[in-house]
Amino acid sequence: MSHGEKLMSIRVRVLLLSNFREIVGKREIVEEVNSNLTLGHVLDQLGKKYGRDFKQLVDPKTRTVPSEFIVSINGRVVRDTKVRLNNDDILMLTIQAGGG
């Protein structure tokens, strides 16, 4: 955020799949965060609220999303948690799942 830019509150939809849905008991939640915050901040915030599985979404050393998880923003999978979020972004949290 550039110097003098006004801090705003943004809303992010978080779609919960697999074990994340099971833990929270909901398919979807809404998180409100300051506009200068990153994906990492939101995931940390969720970790504090919901515990271990959510905390594991961010590798504490590299600040990236470990390969066993899938975190997408508007459908695009992201590994770097320093990415900034925008109002009405849709986060999806799940795990690797394949087959047929």
> Which CB, 4 or 99, lies closer to another protein?
99
CB 7, min distance to another protein, A = 25
Q: How many whole angstroms separate alpha carbon 45 and alpha carbon 64? A: 15
Q: What is the contact mask toward another protein in residues 61 to 80, using x (rule: CB under 8 A)?
A: ---x--xxxx-x-xxxxxx-
Q: Which is nearer to another protein, 1 or 95 (CB)?
A: 95
Q: What are the percentages of helix, strand and coil residues in the chain, rounded to 5?
A: 25, 30, 45
Residues that bind another protein (CB under 8 A): 15, 17-19, 21-22, 27, 64, 67-70, 72, 74-79, 90, 92, 94-100
